[in-house]
Amino acid sequence: MKTLLASFAFAATLAGTAAVADEANIRLKDAAETPAVVANCSVCHSVDYIQMNSRFMKRAGWEAEIKKMVSVMGAPVSEADQARLLDYLTREYGVAE
């Protein structure tokens, strides 16, 4: 059991290190909502997830993702910010309907 816990702790450390590697080069598209996106999203994960998902996310997909982050993952994002995030992600990183 100790070995399993030690392995898990080691893997978590590596995963945490990899998540922040070279993130200084990641830049979101500049808009009025960008600071709110960075402030709300980067609390839990790297903002490169936005760029990775942008290849296939329509408005409904971004909306579902925001709702999941708030209701399932517990992200403390106000309703006003949720609307701003959705508009930004759809406009700057969404694919055409």
7 vs 53: which has the higher pLDDT:
53
CATH of domain 24-93: 1.10.760.10
Among the listed residues 46, 40, 42, 31, the one whose alpha carbon sits nearest the alpha carbon of residue 93: 31
The more confidently predicted of residues 13 and 76 is 76
**pLDDT confidence tier of residue 52, bands split at 50, 70 and 90:** confident
Domain boundaries of the chain, sorted by first residue? 24-93
Overall size of the chain counted in residues = 97
> Rounded to an integer, what distance in angstroms lies between the CA atom of residue 32 and that of residue 96?
21
